[in-house]
Structure 1
């Protein structure tokens, strides 16, 4: 979090002004702080867009003005978006802010501070369901063919995987309605037959059946294959009784240590030092022109 604050300097500055100028100082100062905060946030987002490869829109606009200045409160707060609830990146409440995915202040913390990134919600769900071992994280497999232009696995696919492995939990244990039943999983593999036409369907956008399975990195099967640990998808283009092929969807890896890629605090401070004096000068001149 960056706080743009000049309240400690106001008394000293106003001593050197006449009555008219003195009355305009709080207004001009709050205006200058707010304009500076906008510039600081814009420059922070420009850096995000440049240092990350194909960032999501919410990442490229993650730096926001959290709190603006007023005549009574001469400071503004600029920070990485956290669901507009003001929690710090390491606050446990930030992980549960809202129903969507984890907010930028969580997944960018490792890029700003360095160190390990926070687990994503689906990773915590897989660990809780004992699908992924504790201490591991999941990376999206390029070979899956499912990645979007930003290199992410679509949310619908992640939800399907969680549902397949009964990893959704309402806090009351297994059996949550979002989880697949045995009947649903069988239908995904074998298909559903239309009694009227005799056609078999496998769900929206699918021409044949599939199933997910977990590899623990151990050898299995007649060929003694050793698949990397993760969640794999088996596809049945020739039906469940015919030849199938497999591909990785999520791979389990040890968390890596990130180097700091985004000098958030240094950039923000330099931007404040560069822009605030100019904005103060402009705001004071405007205030004096329009003073009554």
Structure 2
């Protein structure tokens, strides 16, 4: 998912650039486009912090910039679409896109593991229940989720390794395998409960697939930033060009950080 920024329609600004000569004009315009893209990145970050419920730093830092260059006079702002260890099997685009376009939430890694063990019924997803321990962002804590998956023998490890509960004395001492079980209403599974002593609490509820409404005007934020700032940034780039202050490397522009 990306939104592009170009100088289309800025006839007056382009006319001003032409006075610099072709080579310098292209460098100045690329610099102005990249500066505008960075402003759009910061505006999107602020918008995400405003419309999302306690977004994680990982989500807020997922906005990337594809820089314009003197021979490619178009910048782009996009949501990171590659996966890494911190994304729990998802790219940030997977959970940001439904907030932009609306639609169903993608399946989480924990859900696919529970579904593979035939614990989570087809068509159902998980949501924190009354007994869930939540982190600062309103999600079930990673530690408790690991306990649940381990207790239900749902963790898939690498060859020769498993994090599931076992018959070892360490595993028995933790008590996860005895603590977690599928709670049912009649014959229908409705969630996962935790029993510790005489206390029984539901920790995960089985729910219908969550549907997101459109909350983040991704493309609108980028367009408004370009409308408000690009012409000013072109004027600044012209001044920098005349003073010999244009960057020579357009692969990566230093990105300013949001104010705190």
Both structures adopt the same fold (TM-score exceeding 0.5):
yes
1:182 Cα offset (Å): 3.7
Are residues 163 and 16 of structure 1, via their aligned partners in 2, closer, same or farther at CA, if it must alter by over 3 Å?
closer
Instruction: Provide the rounded CA distance (Å) in 2 between the counterparts of 1:32 and 1:271.
Output: 12
Contact 1:234-1:245 within 8 A present in 2 as well = yes
Is 1:70–2:69 an aligned residue pair? yes
Contact 2:5-2:74 within 8 A present in 1 as well = yes
Is 1:250–2:190 an aligned residue pair? no
Instruction: Provide the rounded CA distance (Å) in 2 between the counterparts of 1:49 and 1:216.
Output: 38
Residue equivalent to 1:198: none
Instruction: Provide the rounded CA distance (Å) in 1 between the counterparts of 2:178 and 2:152.
Output: 14
Is 1:286–2:247 an aligned residue pair? no
Is 1:214–2:213 an aligned residue pair? no
Instruction: Provide the rounded CA distance (Å) in 2 between the counterparts of 1:290 and 1:16.
Output: 15
RMSD across aligned C-alpha pairs, in angstroms?
2.9
Instruction: Provide the rounded CA distance (Å) in 2 between the counterparts of 1:16 and 1:260.
Output: 39
Is 1:229–2:190 an aligned residue pair? yes
1:16 Cα offset (Å): 8.2
Where structure 2 has 5 or more consecutive residues not aligned to the other structure, the ranges are: 246-260
Are residues 8 and 268 of structure 1, via their aligned partners in 2, closer, same or farther at CA, if it must alter by over 3 Å?
closer
* 2:85 counterpart SS class: coil
* 2:113 counterpart SS class: helix
Give TM-score scaled by structure 1 length.
0.73
Are residues 16 and 55 of structure 1, via their aligned partners in 2, closer, same or farther at CA, if it must alter by over 3 Å?
closer
Instruction: Provide the rounded CA distance (Å) in 1 between the counterparts of 2:186 and 2:103.
Output: 30
Which has more radius of gyration?
1
Give TM-score scaled by structure 2 length.
0.81
Contact 1:24-1:288 within 8 A present in 2 as well = no
1:210 Cα offset (Å): 6.2
Is 1:156–2:146 an aligned residue pair? no
Cα deviation digits, residues 34-62 of structure 1 (max 9, x gap): 10011001000101111122221222333
Is 1:264–2:218 an aligned residue pair? yes
Contact 1:185-1:211 within 8 A present in 2 as well = no
Contact 1:51-1:261 within 8 A present in 2 as well = yes
Alignment of 1:17-32 (within 5 A): 17-18=18-19, 20-32=20-32
1:146 Cα offset (Å): 1.2
Cα deviation digits, residues 213-259 of structure 1 (max 9, x gap): 0113327xxxxxx9x711110011xxxxxxx1111111110013221
Contact 2:180-2:195 within 8 A present in 1 as well = yes
Are residues 7 and 271 of structure 1, via their aligned partners in 2, closer, same or farther at CA, if it must alter by over 3 Å?
closer
1:170 Cα offset (Å): 4.7
1:276 Cα offset (Å): 1.3
Contact 1:34-1:68 within 8 A present in 2 as well = yes
1:77 Cα offset (Å): 2.1
- How many residue pairs align between the two structures? 240
